[in-house]
Amino acid sequence: MPKSAKHDRACAEFRALQTSRRAVVQAGAASLLGLGLPALFAHQAANQARADFTGTANRLLPGFGKAKRCIFLFMWGGPSQLDTFDLKPNAPADIRGPFQPISTKVPGLHISEHFKQLAGVMDQVAVIRSLSHNDPAHLSSGHTCVTGHLAPVVRSDATPPSSRDTPHIGSVLSKLRPPQSAVPPFVMLPWKVFHPAAPGGQAPGQHGGWLGPTYDPLLATGDPNKADWKLPAIELPPGVTPETLHSRYQLLQQIDAQRAAFDALPRPAAMTQHQARALDLLASPKVREAFNLAKESAETRERYGRNIHGQSVLLGRRLLEHGVPLVNINWHDDGRNFWDTHGNNFNRLKDDLIPPADRALTALLTDLSDRGLLEDTLVAWVGEFGRKPQTTNGTGREHWPYCYSGLLAGAGIAGGAIYGSSDRHAAYPATNACSPHDYAATMLHALGIEAGAKLHDRDGRPHAVYAGEPITALFA
C-alpha cells in the first residue's frame, strides 16, 4: 500500500532519531546441573542492547502495538484457496471443485462448506484473498512465511536451515520484547516442519538464524493428545524435587564463588542469571502448570478436538494465558503430506485437514473472546502458498504461490473484513495484491515493533526487521 505523506515524514523523523546499538556481550550457555537449559534464556541477559526502534513511524498508523501476544498457526503444505476461503462457484468444474460456498455470520462473506464451525465466528476474522509471491518451493517459501524475509536460497527445496536464515518472527519478538518472568519467550509445537520429499528436509527460518541459537524456540515436540505426553525440558530428573534443585543450585553458586575467589577472576554475572532462569523454568509452578493440559476440562479438550492439532492449539492458548509472547503451532506430521494435496485433494481436505483446523480455530477464537483476551491477542492462520486452480487428473492441486488466502483475527483486526480479491479463477490477485512480507509486517506492526527496526547479527551487521508494509487497512 502506498505510504501517506504523514507516514513518510514520520519515517524521516524516525531515521534521524535512530541511536547506535551498544556492543553485544557474548555469553556461553553452560549446563545447569547437567540439565542444559540456560541457553534458552541467554538472550535475557547476554546483552541489554535493543534494536534501533525508538522512532515513531508505525505509531501514527492504525493497529500499532495492539497485540500483547500472538499465536501463529502455520498451515504447512499450502492450503488450497479455492477450497477454503476463496471459492469460485462459477468457474469451470475442473477449477472450482466439488465444494460449495456457505454463508457465514457476516453477510456477503462466504467460505467452504467444510468450515462449518468457523462460519459462526467469521465476524471476528479478516480474510486476505490476495496474498502472492513467486516461490513454489516448500522450504524457501516456508522461510519467507515465518520470517517475513526471503530465504538465503530462494525457489529451493534443497537448502536446509543455516545460520544465514532470517530469525523467525518469534525469535525477533523474544529479542525485542522478552518476557519478564520464568516463561519462555517463544514456543514452537508440535514439531519443526519437515518435508520428506524435499532434499533439504527441514524448512529454514524456524530458529534464531543470524541472531544465534539462544533465540531458538522452546520446541515442545510430540502429541499433546496422548495421555502420557510431557515436555522433557520442564521435567525434573527422577528423585529430584524443586527444593533439591534449589539446594544444588545454591551449592553450585558457592563452588563458583570459591573458584572465582581462588582464580581472582570475576564471576560471569550473565551466566549466573541464565542459570537462575533455567532453574525458574524447572521449578516454577506457573510454567509447569502452563504445559499441563490435564488442567483443562474434558469438555474444553473435546471442543478443540481430541487430535494432535486441536490439543496443540489448546496448549497454545494456555501458554498465551501464562505469559508466553508468541506461540507457533505448525501443522503436524501425519505421514500424509500435510496440506500438500497433489493427489486426493478433495477427500484429504474434507476428511482429514479442514475438520480439525475448523474445530481448533473456532474454539480458540471463542475461548479468547470469552476470556477477554482476543482484543489484545493476534491470531494468524496461513500457509506458505496456495494451490493451482486447474486440478491434476480431477483430484489434486499443484503448488501455486501466485494467489492464496490467509486469516488474521484479534488485536484490533477488523472482524468480518475481506482484504483484496482474486481473479475469476483465484489464480492471481485482482485488487490489493500483498506479499508474505506484508503479512509478517502486519504481525510485527500489531506486536509494536517499529517499521525502521534493525537487529544486528553476531558479526555486528545490521538487518532490517521489516521487509514489507503492514496492511493497516485490516485494523478497525
If residue 218 lies in a helix (H) or strand (E), which one and from where to where?
strand 218-219
Grid cell at residue 70: 500472538
pLDDT, tens digit, for every residue of 373-402? 999 999 999 999 999 999 999 999 999 999
Residue 333, number of CB atoms within 10 A of its CB: 18
Instruction: Look at residue 196 in the predicted model and tell me its pLDDT.
Output: 92
| Type of residue numbered 63 | G
Instruction: Look at residue 219 in the predicted model and tell me its pLDDT.
Output: 93
Instruction: Look at residue 135 in the predicted model and tell me its pLDDT.
Output: 98
Instruction: Look at residue 59 in the predicted model and tell me its pLDDT.
Output: 83
Instruction: Look at residue 335 in the predicted model and tell me its pLDDT.
Output: 81
- For the whole prediction, is pTM greater than 0.75? yes
| Res 22 pLDDT > 80 | no
Question: Of 380, 435, 472, which is closest to residue 169 (Cα–Cα)?
Answer: 380
More confident: 272 or 64: 64
Instruction: Look at residue 390 in the predicted model and tell me its pLDDT.
Output: 97
Instruction: Look at residue 40 in the predicted model and tell me its pLDDT.
Output: 43
Q: DSSP state, 166?
A: P
Q: Using CA of residue 419, residue 424, residue 425, residue 427, what is the dihedral sign?
A: negative
pLDDT, tens digit, for every residue of 254-273? 545 555 554 544 444 444 44
Instruction: Look at residue 31 in the predicted model and tell me its pLDDT.
Output: 32
| Res 290 pLDDT > 50 | yes
Task: Calculate what percentage of the chain has a pLDDT beyond 90.
Answer: 72
| Res 237 pLDDT > 90 | no
DSSP for 372-411, written as a single string: T-GGGEEEEEE-S-EE-SS-BTTTB--EE-SSEEEEEEST
Question: Of 169, 442, 186, 190, which is closest to residue 325 (Cα–Cα)?
Answer: 186
More confident: 48 or 171: 171
| Res 75 pLDDT > 80 | yes
pLDDT, tens digit, for every residue of 202-216? 999 999 999 999 999
The residues, any chain, with a CB within 8 Å of residue 73's CB and separated by 6 or more, are 313, 329, 331, 361, 379, 380, 381, 382
Contact criterion met (CB below 8 Å) for 404 and 127: no
At which residue does the C-alpha cell 490489493 appear? 432
At which residue does the C-alpha cell 509452578 appear? 285
Grid cell at residue 434: 500483498
Grid cell at residue 345: 485433494
Q: Say whether 422 sits in a helix, a strand or coil.
A: strand
| Res 250 pLDDT > 60 | no
Of 142-156, 190-204, 275-289, 452-466, minimum mean pLDDT range = 275-289
Instruction: Look at residue 60 in the predicted model and tell me its pLDDT.
Output: 85
Kindly report the CATH class assigned to 67-224+319-446.
alpha beta
- Find the mean pLDDT for residues 220-236: 81
Q: Name the band, by pLDDT with cuts 50, 70 and 90, for residue 337.
A: confident
- CA–CA distance from 294 to each of 291, 310, 399 (Å)? 9, 14, 39
The residues, any chain, with a CB within 8 Å of residue 110's CB and separated by 6 or more, are 87, 101, 102, 103, 104
Instruction: Look at residue 287 in the predicted model and tell me its pLDDT.
Output: 80
387 has which bridge partners?
A: 399
Contact criterion met (CB below 8 Å) for 66 and 412: yes
Grid cell at residue 53: 526502534
Contact criterion met (CB below 8 Å) for 377 and 412: no
362: left (phi over 0), alpha (psi -120 to 50) or beta: alpha
Instruction: Look at residue 272 in the predicted model and tell me its pLDDT.
Output: 45
Instruction: Look at residue 332 in the predicted model and tell me its pLDDT.
Output: 95
More confident: 261 or 144: 144
